[in-house]
Amino acid sequence: MTIKLEKQTIGIFKELKKIKLDSVIASDFSKDLDIDYIVLMSAINDLKKNSLGDFREIEVNQVSLNKEGKSYLDKGLPERQLLNILLSNNNQEISLQDFLKISKFDKKIFYVGINYMKKNKWVAQSKVGEDIKIILIQEEFPKIEIEILLNKFKDNLKLNYKDLLPEEQKIIDTLNKRKLIKRENKIQREIALTDKGKKITLSQIKELQQVSKLSSEMIISGSWKDCNLKPFDISKPGPLMQRGKIHPMINLINEIREIFLSMGFTEIRGPIVESAFFNFDALFQPQDHPARELHDTFYLKNPKTARLPQNKVIQSIKNTHEYGGDSGSIGWRYKWDENIAKKTLLRTHTTATTIRRLAEYYKNNDKKPIKMFSIDRVFRNEKLDKSHLAEFTQIEGIVIDNNVNLSNLIGIITEFYRKMGFEKIITRPGFFPYTEPSMEISVYYDKLGKWLEMGGSGLFRPEVTYPWGIKNPTRVLAWGLGLERLAMLKFQRSDIRDLYINPIKWLREESYR
């Protein structure tokens, strides 16, 4: 009688035959042979099918050190540590209070240590009135049993309680009482040969010819039908694939871009190096407004000044600032300075580009409505930290139409945020210097179970639109939000800088949810 077995199974069968014991623990055996546990168990299954081997599962009680226990592995138990303090200070006796002070121990652990020092008969305690003294009463302090056993746990070892000697078990119990031990029950597999397996000789076993790779020749000749194609472990992870991937932020940007496009918005793009004119003045921000100051805005030394648009527009903006121009406003009532408007800067918001688009609108006299959006970089003179960036991405949506109103703005924002996955939204009164009425937007974030501020919105003030010829009842709706806040939530990052420092590990592993 011959039995056909896979090559790997034969190898393991040979190893099992060498073993003198009745059975062997599978995990230890796989370590000894340096083969994968899964490979070993599949071979055992193979042997089982041929009634040559078998395994059984037994429950074992494993003990290991817990966190506190581990900490004593190097430093020694509290009693040993305290003893060493006494010895190194050459203290034959010391008051209990002083001892506590110099030991810098936690009070609870200190008293545990003192107790065991007494138990080990290393020290005695004397009490005179209120003063308690600790006195050394030995010359030598050899390692005690418990310390010797502790050493067995080195290298994170787990011990089987059952395998220990009775006196060792007792010490383990003591350690357990001292809460230094972790006990867990585990299922262990023991493997063994059956009687048939023990009797059979190696000459009665033949290697099963198995093919692991399908070849072109086998396909053409049809011989694949006759050979034994080796089955694969189909759930085993494949080798790690390191290929190209889109940056998570770009994925998010593309998702938001698709939302805008699906709602009929067209993307616009404008200069990053911008004039104060388009960044501030055209938005009716007075020239002494705090946001224009150096600590909020990056101004440029080179190029230093920008050319302003045609005179008519300049005059109109100047008038609007000074007394309201033709907008119906009382204006800011100060002297507007063209030179301040000519300063160059890194734009602090994409609204500067929106205004440029309004300027074009005025020139081209487009057909209404116009819907536009941008998702683009803006700059603020901020120190970088966990929650601040000097450069970030702003998302902005704009609608220009006849008779568009606040209710339309709420309608469109609600739809926009719904498409982003926020079903619940609150729009409440807010303030922005260039919109009126203005709204703050909060959305309910299910995953955190709370409301989050997620942008601002409003209708552009007449003082902003009139200089470009956009006059009531044509109005401009606008809303905007920061991309990074959203990204931090989505990618569960707690440091905003992570989004722009490219940890390759994160980029390789972040999923496309």
Partner 1 sequence: MPTLELKIERLEKLVGKKLLLKDLEYDLQWISLDLEEINKKEQKIKVEYNPNRPDFSSPEGIARALKGYYELELGLPSFEVTPGKIQMNVDSTVKEIRPYIVCGVVKDIDLDEDEVTTLMNIQEQLHWAVGRDRKKVAIGVHDLDKIVPPFRYLAVKPDSINFLPLQGDGSTMNLNEILKYHEKGIKYAHILENNELYPILLDNKDEVISFPPIINGILTTVSNDTKNLFLEMTGTDLKSVNLALNILSTTLYDMGAKIESVQVIYNKDEKYITPNLEPKKWEISTKYINDYLGLNLSITDMIKCFEKVRMNAKRSSKKDYIDIWVPAFRGDIMHPVDFTEDCAIGYGYFNLPKIIKEGCIGEYHPIQKFSNKIRTIMIGGGYIEVLNFILANVTKQYDYMKRQNKSNEIIQIANPISEEYNTTRTNILPKLMETLLFNRSEEKPIKIFEVGDVIILDPKEDTGAKRELHLSAVTYHEDADYTEIKSTLDFIMNTLGCSNEIDIKVSNNPSYLSGRSGDIYLGKKKIGEIGEINPEVLLNFKLEFPAAALELNLQNFF
Residue 437 CB, nearest approach to partner 1 (Å): 4
Please report whether residue 410 would count as binding partner 1 according to CB under 8 A: yes
DSSP at 385 = B
State the Cα–Cα distance between residues 322 and 281, nearest whole angstrom. 12
Q: Which is nearer to partner 1, 137 or 273 (CB)?
A: 273
Q: Tell me the three state secondary structure of residue 100.
A: helix
Point out which residues pair with 343 in neighbouring strands: 305
CA nearest 413: which of 453, 456, 374, 380?
456
Q: Please identify, among the stretches 17-25, 47-55, 118-126, 374-382, the one whose residues bind partner 1 according to the rule CB under 8 A.
A: 374-382
Q: Please identify, among the stretches 5-13, 168-176, 201-209, 397-405, the one whose residues bind partner 1 according to the rule CB under 8 A.
A: 397-405
8 A C-beta contact, residue 496 and residue 484: yes
Q: From the list 231, 238, 264, 449, which residue makes contact with partner 1 (rule: CB under 8 A)?
A: 264
Q: From the list 377, 419, 485, 493, which residue makes contact with partner 1 (rule: CB under 8 A)?
A: 377
Residue 469 CB, nearest approach to partner 1 (Å): 17
Please report whether residue 491 would count as binding partner 1 according to CB under 8 A: no
Angle (deg, nearest 10), helices 483-491 and 248-262: 120
Q: Please identify, among the stretches 16-24, 40-48, 76-84, 401-409, the one whose residues bind partner 1 according to the rule CB under 8 A.
A: 401-409
Q: From the list 131, 385, 431, 446, which residue makes contact with partner 1 (rule: CB under 8 A)?
A: 431
Please report whether residue 116 would count as binding partner 1 according to CB under 8 A: no
Please report whether residue 438 would count as binding partner 1 according to CB under 8 A: yes
Strands (DSSP E) along 385-490, which ranges?
A: 391-402, 425-429, 435-445, 450-460, 474-482
Q: Which residues are within 8 A (CB) of 432 and not within 5 positions of it... i.e. 6 or more apart?
A: 438, 456, 458
Question: Any idea which residue has 């699906």 for tokens?
Answer: 262
Please report whether residue 456 would count as binding partner 1 according to CB under 8 A: no
Q: How many residues does the chain have?
A: 513
Please report whether residue 173 would count as binding partner 1 according to CB under 8 A: no
Please report whether residue 329 would count as binding partner 1 according to CB under 8 A: yes
Please report whether residue 281 would count as binding partner 1 according to CB under 8 A: no
- Judged by CB under 8 A, the chain residues 194 through 253 that form the site for partner 1 are 242-247, 249-250
Q: Which is nearer to partner 1, 6 or 382 (CB)?
A: 382
Q: From the list 39, 109, 132, 300, which residue makes contact with partner 1 (rule: CB under 8 A)?
A: 300
Please report whether residue 448 would count as binding partner 1 according to CB under 8 A: no
Residue 267 CB, nearest approach to partner 1 (Å): 4
347 φ, ψ (degrees, to nearest 5): -55, 140
Please report whether residue 254 would count as binding partner 1 according to CB under 8 A: yes
Diameter over CA atoms, the chain: 111
Q: Please identify, among the stretches 163-171, 198-206, 231-239, 395-403, the one whose residues bind partner 1 according to the rule CB under 8 A.
A: 395-403
Label residue 324 left, alpha or beta by phi (over 0 means left) and psi (-120 to 50 means alpha). Answer: left
Dihedral of CA atoms 442, 444, 449, 452 in degrees, nearest 10, equals -20
β-pairing, 181-193 vs 24-25, is antiparallel
8 A C-beta contact, residue 229 and residue 223: no
Q: From the list 504, 509, 511, 512, which residue makes contact with partner 1 (rule: CB under 8 A)?
A: 504
8 A C-beta contact, residue 220 and residue 20: no
8 A C-beta contact, residue 96 and residue 134: yes
Q: From the list 7, 89, 228, 334, which residue makes contact with partner 1 (rule: CB under 8 A)?
A: 334
Please report whether residue 283 would count as binding partner 1 according to CB under 8 A: no
Please report whether residue 265 would count as binding partner 1 according to CB under 8 A: yes
Residue 336 CB, nearest approach to partner 1 (Å): 14
